């Protein structure tokens, strides 16, 4: 990943130096782009229209979680830049869900939503996942529907003053008609087993076809609701039968996708309440910091953290009194402390110093207050300090951050983690805070795992099952799914104690395997 980061730094740094950057802020998104102010506003407007159209179509209320649930979108120069950042040249865009700071990366140029797999289709697909996990939090959903729902919305098209859902994903045109690659009897299972590339593509394409079929049919919508209800009831039986006989459904779906015209849903964008969109030009300090911020938000590892930190130090040095620049430096310093095997003892001190400068510039910066606390906790853990007073003092920064923004999940998570880092049982307040953070950010798989553990500690097995299930059946991160399945299997056999013990094993890192 070192070469990837080096190439990305060169590309992003030259971009930052050549153009003005703008930040758009709306109800559900924050967008950073070096496009024109008008283009950034139009881009953000379409994202908000997409969100509101989904809500209207599926009769979903507005998300009450506030700003912490927003997705930050970084618009990069082109698809090549996105591919370099992702580490795979074929990637047209990607999304990283994280409590309070979910991010997506997309190229400036994309398709018009005609069904091709372009920047917009990828962004819409991933945001549909975010939307689903943020709005339908009390049910475990099968992989075919999770991916089918995302594919159904990925091909949304803007035509005149309308947004239209229902277009065929042309990038899956071949596998859509190949029902034998993923027969209905297998597709409808919660656990579809290990998938090869052809089967994975079939799950996406057949999931799209079945979701499309059931969504646009009045009887189908009732069948889908009954099926999901049965899956989550915990009762014995075969919920798939509520959708229909497998072979019959294979034939019906095969005929359905061969129709000359499929049904669609259209919404007048002028009737969608998207709220206010604020667009401003970034300051010189902010614009200089964006390339480093992109690397941090993309995520670093032992091979890339030092290069990302070098960039953060370089761009922040001229702006010691700027909260934006110093916040990024604090994050980069802290990340390097955690992933660099040879990190020196002073790394947490440097992270805290950057956080202090950010706090001096903006005393109400939740990010800076949280990172100051995390830096102190990291130093205490590294030095194996057992002085309870020093641990309590470090935790105070998380409480201060929580007072600034009670809806920000990061301070609540950091407060809970501090007890784990200290080798102490989490207090009831820490547990309650962690579960509230989970309610605020159910799209974060790390947080779901922690919430599962807390629920099991509290004896709430049903809630633990809901928390862990989406991870267990996530076909996009197989190693983490296998970890979650072990816990889920113990929950389903009624052995909550063993399930809790199984979570002592550190979960695998999130991946895209």
The DSSP letter of residue 234 is -
| pLDDT for 326 | 99
According to the model, what pLDDT value does residue 119 have? Answer: 78
Q: What is the tens place of the pLDDT at every residue in 180-214? A: 788 999 999 888 888 898 999 999 999 999 999 99
343, 349, 354, 358: CA torsion to nearest 10: 140
Residue 73 falls inside a structural domain = no
How far is residue 120 from each of residues 20, 93, 96, 104, measured CA to CA in Å?
A: 23, 8, 16, 11
Residues of the chain under the 50 pLDDT cut: 1-3, 111-112, 512-513
Question: Is residue 386, in this structure, part of any structural domain at all?
Answer: yes
pLDDT at 372: 99
**Is 56 contained in some domain?**
no
Distances (CA, A) of 456 to 445, 448, 462, 493: 17, 12, 9, 14
- Other beta carbons within 10 angstroms of residue 229's beta carbon come to 12
Half-sphere exposure of residue 10: CA atoms within 13 angstroms, side-chain side: 6
d(CA 105, CA 433): 30
In a domain, 128, yes or no: no
pTM above 0.95, yes or no: no
What CATH number is given to the structural domain containing 351? 1.25.40.10
- Does some domain include residue 339? yes
In a domain, 306, yes or no: yes
What pLDDT is attached to residue 302? Answer: 87
Other CB atoms within 10 Å distance of the CB of residue 234: 11
Distance (Å, whole) CA 413 – CA 411:
5
Instruction: Give pLDDT tens digits for 38-67.
Output: 999 999 999 999 999 999 999 998 877 878
* Inter-residue long-range contacts of 405-408, CB under 8 Å, 24+ positions, other chains counted: 405/68, 405/366, 407/65, 407/66, 407/67, 407/68, 407/440, 408/68, 408/100, 408/366, 408/370, 408/440
Report the domain count for the chain.
Answer: 1
The whole domain housing 371 covers: 285-405
Is residue 365 situated within a structural domain?
yes
Domain assignment of residue 363, yes or no: yes
Per-residue confidence (pLDDT) for residue 234, from 0 to 100:
66
The H-or-E segment that residue 440 falls in is: helix 428-440
Q: Is 30 helix (H, G, I), strand (E, B) or coil?
A: strand
């Amino acid at each position: 990943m070192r070469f990837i980061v080096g190439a990305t730094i060169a590309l992003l740094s030259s971009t930052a130096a050549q153009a003005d950057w703008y930040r758009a802020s709306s109800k559900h998104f924050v967008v950073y782009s070096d496009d024109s102010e008008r283009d950034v506003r139009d881009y953000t407007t379409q994202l908000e229209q997409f969100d509101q159209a989904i809500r209207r179509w599926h009769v979903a209320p507005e998300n009450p979680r506030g700003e912490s649930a927003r997705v930050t979108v970084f618009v990069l120069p082109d698809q090549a830049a996105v591919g370099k950042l992702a580490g795979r040249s074929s990637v047209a865009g990607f999304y990283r869900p994280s409590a309070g700071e979910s991010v997506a990366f997309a190229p400036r140029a994309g398709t018009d939503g005609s069904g091709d797999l372009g920047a917009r289709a990828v962004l819409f697909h991933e945001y549909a996942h975010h939307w689903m996990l943020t709005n339908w939090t009390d049910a475990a959903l099968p992989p075919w529907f999770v991916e089918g729902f995302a594919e159904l919305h990925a091909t949304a098209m803007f035509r005149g003053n309308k947004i239209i859902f229902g277009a065929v994903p042309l990038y899956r045109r071949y596998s859509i008609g190949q029902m034998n690659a993923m027969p209905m009897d297998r597709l409808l299972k919660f656990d579809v087993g290990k998938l090869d590339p052809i089967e994975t593509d079939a799950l996406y394409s057949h999931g799209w076809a079945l979701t499309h079929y059931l969504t646009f049919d009045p009887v189908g919508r009732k069948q889908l609701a009954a099926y999901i209800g049965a899956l989550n009831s915990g009762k014995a039986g075969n919920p798939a039968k509520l959708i229909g006989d497998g072979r019959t459904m294979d034939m019906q779906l095969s005929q359905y996708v061969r129709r000359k015209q499929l049904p669609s849903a259209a919404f007048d964008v002028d009737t969608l309440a998207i709220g206010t969109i604020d667009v401003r030009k970034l300051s010189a300090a902010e614009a200089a910091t964006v390339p480093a911020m992109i690397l941090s938000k993309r995520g670093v590892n032992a091979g890339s953290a030092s290069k990302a930190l070098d960039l953060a130090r370089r761009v922040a040095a001229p702006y010691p009194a700027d909260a934006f620049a110093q916040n990024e430096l604090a994050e980069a310093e802290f990340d390097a402390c955690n992933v660099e095997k040879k990190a020196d003892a002073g790394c947490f001190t440097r992270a805290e110093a950057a956080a202090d400068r950010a706090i001096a510039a903006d005393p109400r910066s939740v990010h800076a207050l949280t990172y100051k606390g995390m830096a102190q906790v990291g130093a205490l853990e590294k030095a194996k300090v057992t002085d309870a007073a020093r641990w309590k003092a470090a935790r105070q920064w998380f409480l201060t951050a929580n007072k600034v923004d009670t809806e920000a999940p990061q301070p609540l998570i950091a407060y809970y983690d501090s007890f784990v880092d200290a080798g102490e049982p989490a207090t009831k307040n820490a547990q309650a805070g962690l579960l509230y953070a989970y309610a605020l950010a159910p799209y974060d798989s790390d947080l779901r795992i922690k919430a599962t553990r807390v629920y099991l500690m509290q004896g709430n097995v049903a809630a633990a099952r809901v928390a862990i299930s989406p991870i267990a059946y996530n076909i996009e991160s197989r190693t983490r799914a296998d970890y979650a399945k072990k816990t889920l299997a113990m929950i389903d056999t009624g052995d909550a104690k063993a399930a809790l013990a199984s979570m002592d094993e550190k979960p695998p890192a999130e991946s895209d395997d």
